[in-house]
Structure formats: structure tokens, C-alpha cells
Amino acid sequence: MIVAKRKPFDEIKEYIKDYKKVLVAGCGTCVAVCLAGGEKEVDILNTELDMARRLDNNPLETGTITIERQCDVEYLEGLDDVVKDYEAILSMACGVGIQFLAERFPGIPVYPAVDTTGMSANLAVGLYEERCRSCGECVLGLTGGICPVTMCAKGLYNGPCGGTNNGNCEIDDDQPCAWFKIYERLATQGRLDNILKIKEPVGWNDQIPRTLIQPGYMKPEKDA
């Protein structure tokens, strides 16, 4: 699923400093599942903004709404009668939803309240690891179901590089070498001939799977 993390509070506060009436809009799909921009996170941000602006002696009137999907016109229609009462919108949807919202209401400034970080797997409650970078040229059929674009620091379609280090990547001993893993998987399946099939490289640079821990959800014992 698409995952996101809340933007720093100061950044969000700065965006809306000149407004008196703001709508905080959540999205009930991906960002709700990854605990970044659903109904609950909308409530938390709304509460924070209320407290911060009261402390600044500049009270803010806020409204909250969470629709099923901001990336879907069908659901955006529900906002048509709501947004006209506000000077600006803070969207907690992914980058797709934010743009869709801004497109539907071109007369009202729409600001992002989250940073969209990618497509990830849910490893534990509140812990996500990127597994796909939507390169649009999927090679998983040749690589034993292991994505070299996401797992390899260089995103090499044809690897490994000289930095493979006893199964790990040269950048970090905790980061497995994608192509070592691919070799092992293909060998297990008797498909090692696949590793010789050349895929034209794409211009990706230093990237490794990014992990995201949502504060308030990671269990301490899992930190060890």
C-alpha cells in the first residue's frame, strides 16, 4: 500500500498561519491503514492546531472530514458543499489525493500535511518497509520475486556490483545484498539461467528500502 508520514508540525503550522478557518481532510484508505492520515490522525492534528493557535493568541477555527478516498472523484463530490466554508484545506492524503483535491477546488489553497514515502509492506503495527518503487518495468519474474530496484542501494537491474559483501551490501552490514538474495532464490528454484538475462538499466541512483516507524505504535520490545 501507499504509506506516508506526518509532516513536521511547525511546517504545517507555517502553511496555515494566515488563515482563520481551515478544513483538515483525511483519507480513509492507504494513509488510514498506515496510521498517517485517517480519521484518528485528522483528529490529532486538529487538536494540535487548536492548542498551538490558542497559545499564540491567534485562534483557528477548524473543521474535520475524512472521506473514503481523496484519489477518487466519486468520493470528492462529498466535499463540494463543505469546502466553501473554509479559507484553506490541509490534506492528509497521499500526494495523489492532495493533487486531486487541489484540482477539484482550484480556488482554495490545499496544503499537504503528510509526506508520501512510497509503497510498503506492513511488517508490524506501525512499522513499514518499502518493497516497490513503481519503476514501471517490473523484473520480479526474472529475479525470483525479489525487487533489485528497491532492495539494492544502486537499484541495479543487472547485479551485483563490486560492493557485495558476504551476502550484505557495502553500505550497511544490516542491509542484505539484493543480488545475493536473488542468486540464492533462483538457485533454490533451479532458475539460475534467469540471472544472465540482461535488463536495460534505468537511471536510478543510491536508494535503499526506506523504513518508517509511526510514533506511538512501535512496541519497545521490538526495538531491541
Partner 1 sequence: MRLDYPSNIRIILVPCSGKVDVKHLLHAIQQGADGAYVVGCLEGTCHYNDGNFRARERVEHVRMLLAEVGLESDRVRMYNLSSGEGPTFAAYAKEMTEHIKNLGPNPLKNKINA
Site residue total, partner 1 (CB under 8 A): 27
| Distance in Å, CB of 217 to partner 1, minimum | 7
Among 1, 19, 33, 43, binds partner 1 (CB under 8 A): 43
Element (H, E) at 161: none
Choice between 119 and 213, CB closer to partner 1 = 213
Q: Which of residues 7-36 bind partner 1 (CB under 8 A)?
A: 8-10, 20
Choice between 41 and 130, CB closer to partner 1 = 41
Contact string (CB under 8 A) for partner 1, positions 47-66, x = contact: xx-xxxxxx-x-xxxx----
User: Which of the ranges 44-52, 87-95, 109-117, 161-169 carries the binding residues for partner 1, by CB under 8 A?
Assistant: 44-52
Choice between 197 and 219, CB closer to partner 1 = 219
Element (H, E) at 47: helix 39-55
Phi, psi of 151 (to 5 degrees): -85, -30
Residues 168, 176 contacting (CB under 8 angstroms) = yes
| Distance in Å, CB of 88 to partner 1, minimum | 14
Reading the block at residue 67, the C-alpha cell is 472521506
| Distance in Å, CB of 70 to partner 1, minimum | 22
Q: Please report, for residues 16, 44, 109, 134, 217, the alpha-carbon distance to residue 21 in angstroms, rounded to integers and kept in the order given.
A: 9, 17, 12, 37, 31
| Distance in Å, CB of 129 to partner 1, minimum | 19
CA distance 99 to 108: 12
Q: Which of residues 170-209 bind partner 1 (CB under 8 A)?
A: none
**Residues 136-151, buried b or exposed e (16+ Cβ, 10 A)?**
eeebeebbbebbbbbb
Choice between 5 and 133, CB closer to partner 1 = 5
| Distance in Å, CB of 206 to partner 1, minimum | 30
User: Which of the ranges 40-48, 65-73, 80-88, 159-167 carries the binding residues for partner 1, by CB under 8 A?
Assistant: 40-48
E-state strands within the chain: 2-6, 21-27, 61-67, 88-91, 110-112, 114-124, 127-132, 168-169, 172-176, 211-213
Q: Is 34 exposed, middle or buried (0-12, 13-18, 19+ CB in 10 A)?
A: buried
Among 18, 44, 124, 167, binds partner 1 (CB under 8 A): 44
Which residues contribute to the site for partner 1 (CB under 8 A)?
A: 8-10, 20, 40, 43-44, 47-48, 50-55, 57, 59-62, 215-221
